[in-house]
């Protein structure tokens, strides 16, 4: 398994403590929501970066006030068909302004990467043999979109308007 | 009609290239069937009993002659020379091959058509009134709004993996021909007294194994807010719809579980968060841009020829019957809307041969501006025929076997493909439809019976909309045998109702006689001018129950053989 972040293969500095009995005393860790809620003060006191890992039935609004504390938010994709992480990602980025690493973990297939990226994910745990290539291919799959998301890319509708007629684009 | 520009073409081409690679990975074993299935479904490719079925979107049921010719060509080149028009205004080709699917999609793209999202757990083809833009009663043409929704929903990065499929229908008429109350979202165009255009928003309707009539969650949504409101509904559903049980995953289950009022609150709350998002607001210039594609043709000033036609109809009774049943009133004097039923006796409802498709394409060019509509009752419609051309047009249709005067009558049957094709079906639909069609083939007799819709589904998934048939027929399987349950009193118009079950299931061979008994009872008890549905609503199902099962009503659950 490899971690692709912002288009490059990186080594994961975080220890995944979610589901572990003991959270390591030092170093970057990713904890579960249950661990986060149970050990809030201890986790606040740590000097190393903290990440949180949410299941797809855990709505990130429960941590919406704590986002500044997280270097990573990892959203589980339990199955290809589970579309909830896409909505969570958009809410985290567009509504609550989360700017840290947003990582897709679990059953992440290359066929999903493009939409995930558009929804706001910038890191992916991939299983394939050549994840960098998988990512590059997925990122290039589409060059036109009908919808605007928080990624700033313009929908086709705005590109259609010729520059001389564009006028006020805020409408 | 809407026309693609470079952006639309690029997007579809990129999607086909992506699917071509996915098919390649499947064919060389990189993907197993379990992994491949959701990918192919998102592109309209089903694996049925005998072959792959490709479902082609006909957005809001509007086709050009050029597109219709392409469908005919595909049917001939890649299939067995015919296609099946469905209750969602789509065309299905039932005998296709996996390795050829990307080529078929590329051919479709050349005429600005796609199969994208015609299946899968995503927003499906947006459907509309088949007479859109042509009736006097209409508030506004729903199709520009359908096109706006089509683009917004196509390859949506957030809503491509919903809990279950999602169907949206739009109507602009008080008389609802788009069945908006039995869709996941139904939109009904209204105009305020000040002339402002907007939508009544209906949510949570649907048929399937749990039929539900949709609830209005907003009486009036300003048109510019449409996409933000849809995005709010879809987000509430994407996050809150059930994913643990495929049979309980539709939005109607969520609406029922939380209650329509609470659901409305959730949507409104979400909407308040996003309604001012600039890119979700529909600016007037975008609506104008899309509207321009749907501008009606330049009509000539013609006299109304109804009286003359009526006279001609008396001289040529076959023409007269066709005029009486297959036409609808056009908003412009001197023009008519003409229905072309795909329901000739002995034929599978909704099926059209490649030759018929090509012939209709040519007739549409000759008589009706080169545009064809598909209705959710599985018929074709030409919407701009001059009254002065009707007699010549009728003769041409008659030669093609497309002038059966039965639109809205008892043999204008909706039927799903059923067990003849479909992996989900429990029973066959087509033979039941053709048997009823043959039994009531006498057109004068049909006209005497009047408006009566029979809808047939081969399983509880209800693709044949049996719950909303005036007479609904549902195929079920019991101990390896097919039985058919009848329901009465369903309707999908502006007074939507779900049919009530008449009694125990019948053997296939007994269904036509049961329908006959129901019709005989209706004719015996109807009041002056009363249509079947009205009689049924007045009397309830009891008289019909007695007619089918005998006066001592059979309450036992097993199939009943003897018929009154």
pLDDT in tens, B466-501: 999 999 999 999 999 999 999 999 999 989 999 999
CA-based radius of gyration for chain B: 23
Q: Is the ipTM of this complex over 0.85?
A: yes
Q: What is the pLDDT of residue A162?
A: 58
Q: What's the length of chain B?
A: 564
What is the four-CA torsion angle of B214, B218, B223, B224, rounded to 10 degrees?
-120
With tokens 């739009």, the residue in question is B170
Q: Cα A16 vs. chain centroid, distance in angstroms?
A: 16
Residue listed under structure tokens 């990602």: A89
For residue A161, the 8-state DSSP code is: S
Nearest to B160 among A83, A143, A161 (CB): A83
| Residue B39 touches partner A, C-beta closer than 8 Å | yes
Q: Look at residue B219 and give its three-state secondary structure.
A: strand
Q: Which residues are bridge partners to B55 per DSSP?
A: B92
Cα A2 to Cα B221: distance, rounded to the nearest angstrom: 47
Q: Record the tokens describing residue B556, joined without a space.
A: 């036992």
Other residues' Cβ atoms within 10 Å of the Cβ of residue B527: 8
Question: Closest chain B residue to A87 measured between Cα atoms?
Answer: B158
Per run of 10 residues, the mean pLDDT along chain B (length 564 residues) is: 95 98 96 93 94 96 98 97 95 96 98 98 97 97 97 98 98 95 97 96 95 97 97 98 96 98 98 94 89 95 96 96 97 98 91 97 98 96 98 97 96 94 92 95 95 96 95 94 96 94 95 97 96 97 95 48 40
Q: What is the pLDDT of residue A167?
A: 52
Taking only the tens place, the pLDDT of each residue in A57-99 is 999 999 999 999 999 999 999 999 999 999 999 999 999 999 9
Give how far B344 is from chain A: nearest CA, Å: 42
Give the side-chain half-sphere CA count within 13 A for A83.
Answer: 26
* Token pair belonging to A12: 């994961």
- Calculate ∠ Cα B263-B202-B148, nearest 5°: 110
The answer to whether residue A166 scores a pLDDT higher than 80 is no
- pLDDT, tens digit (0-9, with 9 covering 90-100), for B327-364: 999 999 999 999 999 998 888 999 999 999 999 999 99
What angle, rounded to 10 degrees, do the helices at B306-315 and B317-326 form? 130
Note the pLDDT of residue B263: 98
Pairwise CB contact (< 8 Å): A83 & B121: yes
Give DSSP secondary structure letters for A72-113.
EEEEEE-STT--HHHHHHHIIIIIS---SEEEEEES--GGGH
**Cross-chain CB nearest to A147 (options B156, B161, B243):** B156
Cβ distance of B238 and A144 shorter than 8 Å? no
Q: Do B7 and A144 touch (CB under 8 A)?
A: yes
* Dist. CA A101–CA A59, nearest whole Å: 17
Quick one: pLDDT at residue B278?
A: 87
Q: Would the CA dihedral through B420, B424, B426, B429 be positive or negative?
A: negative
Q: In the A/B pair of chains, how many CB contacts fall below 8 A? A: 98
Q: What is the rounded average pLDDT of the residues A30-45?
A: 94
pLDDT at position A160 is 85
User: Average per-residue pLDDT in chain A?
Assistant: 92
* Contact between A80 and B154 using a beta-carbon 8 Å cutoff: no
Q: Give CA–CA dist A128/A130, Å, rounded.
A: 6
- Counting beta carbons within 10 angstroms of the beta carbon of residue A53, is it exposed (0 to 12), middle (13 to 18) or buried (19 or more)? buried
B437 contacts B427 by C-beta, under 8 angstroms:
no
Confidence band, pLDDT 50/70/90 cuts, at residue A145: very high
Contacts of B18 in chain A (CB under 8 A): 111, 141-142
Residue A112, pLDDT > 80, answer: yes
Cα–Cα distance between B452 and B447 in angstroms, integer?
10
A147, A160, A170 member nearest B278 (Cβ): A170
pLDDT of residue A159: 87
The whole model's pTM is what? 0.94
Residue A62 forms contact with B (CB below 8 Å)? no
Q: B149 and chain A: CB distance < 8 Å anywhere?
A: no
């Amino acid at each position: 398994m490899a971690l692709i972040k912002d288009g490059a293969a990186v080594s994961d500095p975080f220890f995944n403590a979610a589901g572990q009995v003991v959270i390591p005393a030092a170093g970057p860790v990713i904890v579960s929501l249950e661990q986060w809620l149970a050990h809030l003060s201890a986790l606040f006191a740590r000097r190393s970066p903290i990440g949180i890992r949410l299941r797809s039935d855990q709505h990130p609004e429960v941590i919406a006030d704590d986002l500044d504390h997280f270097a990573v938010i990892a959203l589980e994709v339990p199955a290809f068909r589970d579309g909830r992480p896409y909505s969570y990602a958009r809410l985290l980025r567009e509504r609550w302004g989360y700017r840290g690493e947003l990582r897709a973990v679990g059953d992440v297939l290359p066929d999903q990467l493009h939409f995930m990226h558009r929804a706001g994910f910038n890191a992916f745990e991939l299983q394939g043999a050549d994840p960098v290539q998988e990512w590059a291919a997925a990122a290039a799959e589409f060059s036109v979109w009908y919808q605007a998301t928080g990624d700033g890319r313009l929908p086709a509708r705005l590109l259609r308007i010729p520059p001389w007629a564009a006028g006020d684009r805020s409408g | 009609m809407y026309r693609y520009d470079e952006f639309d073409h690029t997007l579809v081409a990129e999607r086909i290239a992506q699917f071509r690679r996915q098919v390649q990975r499947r064919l060389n074993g990189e993907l197993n069937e379990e992994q491949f299935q959701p990918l192919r479904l998102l592109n309209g490719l089903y694996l049925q009993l005998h072959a792959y079925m490709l479902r082609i979107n006909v957005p809001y049921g509007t086709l050009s002659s050029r597109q219709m010719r392409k469908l005919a060509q595909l049917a001939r080149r890649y299939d067995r020379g015919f296609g099946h028009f469905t209750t969602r205004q789509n065309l299905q080709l039932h005998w296709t091959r996996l390795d050829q699917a990307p080529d078929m999609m590329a051919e479709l793209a050349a005429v600005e058509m796609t199969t994208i999202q015609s299946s899968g757990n995503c927003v499906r083809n947006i459907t509309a009134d088949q007479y859109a833009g042509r009736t006097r009663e209409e508030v506004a043409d729903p199709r520009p709004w359908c096109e706006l929704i089509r683009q917004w929903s196509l390859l949506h990065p957030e809503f491509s993996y919903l809990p279950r499929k999602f169907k949206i229908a739009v109507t602009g008429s008080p008389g609802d021909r788009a069945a908006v109350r039995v869709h996941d979202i139904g939109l009904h165009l209204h105009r305020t007294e000040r002339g402002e255009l907007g939508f009544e928003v209906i949510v949570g309707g649907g048929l399937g194994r749990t039929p539900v009539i949709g609830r209005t969650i907003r009486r009036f949504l300003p048109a510019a807010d449409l996409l933000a409101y849809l995005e709010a509904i879809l987000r509430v559903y994407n996050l809150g719809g059930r994913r643990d049980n495929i049979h309980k995953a539709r939005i109607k289950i969520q609406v029922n579980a939380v209650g329509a009022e609470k659901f409305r609150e959730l949507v409104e709350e979400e909407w308040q968060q996003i309604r001012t998002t600039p890119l979700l607001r529909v600016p007037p210039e975008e609506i104008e841009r899309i509207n321009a594609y749907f501008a009606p043709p330049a009509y000539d000033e013609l006299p109304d020829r109804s009286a003359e036609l009526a006279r001609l109809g008396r001289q040529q009774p076959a023409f007269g019957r066709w005029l009486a049943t297959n036409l609808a009133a056009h908003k412009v004097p001197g023009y008519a809307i003409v229905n072309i039923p795909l329901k000739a006796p002995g034929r599978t409802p909704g099926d059209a041969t490649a030759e018929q498709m090509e012939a209709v394409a040519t007739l549409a060019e000759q008589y009706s501006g080169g545009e064809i509509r598909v209705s959710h009752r599985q018929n074709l419609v030409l919407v701009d025929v001059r009254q002065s051309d009707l007699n010549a047009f009728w003769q041409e249709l008659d030669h093609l076997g497309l002038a059966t005067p039965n639109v809205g009558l008892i043999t204008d049957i909706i039927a799903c493909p059923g067990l003849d094709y479909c992996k989900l079906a429990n029973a066959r639909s087509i033979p039941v439809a053709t048997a009823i069609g043959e039994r009531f083939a006498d057109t004068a007799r049909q006209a005497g019976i009047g408006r009566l819709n029979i809808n047939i589904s081969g399983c509880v998934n209800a693709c044949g909309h049996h719950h909303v048939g005036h007479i609904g027929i549902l195929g079920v399987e019991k101990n390896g045998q097919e039985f058919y349950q009848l329901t009465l009193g369903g309707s999908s118009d502006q007074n939507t109702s779900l049919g009530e079950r008449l009694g125990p299931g019948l053997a296939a061979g007994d269904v036509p006689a049961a329908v006959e008994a129901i019709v005989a009872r209706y004719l015996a008890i109807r009041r002056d001018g009363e249509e079947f549905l009205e009689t049924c609503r007045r009397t309830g199902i009891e008289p019909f129950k007695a007619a089918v099962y005998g006066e001592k009503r059979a309450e036992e659950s097993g199939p009943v053989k003897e018929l009154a």
